[in-house]
């Protein structure tokens, strides 16, 4: 973290009591970003596009932070026996399930699994891709691979390009 921010450890610990304090705020910032961009999400043309925008809002900050920071997020989660990105902990969980229902009603989703199961599977899938991306030191495009998995899981009909 210090190397990425180009600061000394002394400077870092002056502003943050511990590395975990900084890492712990990462997901709160992502949730805040999601709240602030709700209008953009609602402007998307269909429920699948809206759902992808929400997923992307959780994935993009990880990709932009880089694999080194993502690794620290996973280490922090493991040390604290917490997973801030578990399906039940996603701020927009209910909105995502509602969008799955709407997409299904509009004939945009071909996967017959119940919406709540699809939601859980989607979050676990996105988490898994992110974890593999982190362990592979960012060797592939996290957003592109996440979108492929999103479309494959939902068996989206008339897949829109992001």
Closest-CA residue to 24 (of 88, 92, 66, 79): 79
What's 139's DSSP letter? Answer: -
What pTM was computed for the model?
Answer: 0.78
Mean pLDDT by 10 residues, the chain (162 residues): 68 64 65 75 88 91 90 82 71 91 96 97 95 97 98 79 44
Tens digit of each residue's pLDDT (9 = 90 or more) over 64-99: 989 988 898 888 878 877 666 677 777 789 999 999
* Tokens coding 63: 């990709």
Measured CA to CA in angstroms, residue 83 lies from 54, 56, 60, 62, 73 at distances of 19, 19, 18, 15, 9
Where in the chain are the domains?
18-154
Residue 160: per-residue pLDDT: 47
Reported as type and span, the H/E element at residue 59 is: helix 47-65
Measured CA to CA in angstroms, residue 101 lies from 43, 106, 115, 144 at distances of 18, 9, 6, 24
Q: How many CB atoms are closer than 10 A to CB 154?
A: 23
**What is the rounded average pLDDT for all residues in the chain?**
84
Q: Which fold has domain 18-154?
A: Tetracycline Repressor; domain 2 (1.10.357)
Exposure string of 141-151, with b = 16+ CB inside 10 Å and e = fewer, is ebbeebbebbb
Residue 56: per-residue pLDDT: 92
């Amino acid at each position: 973290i210090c190397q990425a921010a180009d600061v000394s450890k002394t400077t870092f610990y002056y502003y943050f009591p511990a590395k975990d304090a900084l890492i712990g705020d990462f997901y709160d910032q992502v949730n805040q970003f999601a709240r602030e961009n709700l209008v953009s999400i609602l402007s998307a043309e269909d429920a699948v596009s809206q759902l992808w925008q929400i997923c992307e809002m959780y994935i993009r900050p990880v990709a932009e932070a880089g694999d080194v920071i993502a690794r620290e997020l996973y280490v922090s989660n493991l040390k604290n026996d917490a997973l801030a990105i578990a399906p039940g902990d996603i701020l927009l969980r209910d909105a995502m399930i509602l969008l799955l229902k709407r997409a299904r009603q509009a004939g945009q989703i071909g996967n017959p699994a119940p919406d709540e199961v699809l939601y859980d599977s989607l979050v676990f899938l996105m988490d898994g891709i992110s974890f593999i991306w982190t362990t592979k030191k960012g060797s592939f495009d996290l957003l592109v691979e996440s979108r492929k998995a999103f479309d494959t899981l939902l068996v989206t009909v008339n897949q829109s390009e992001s």
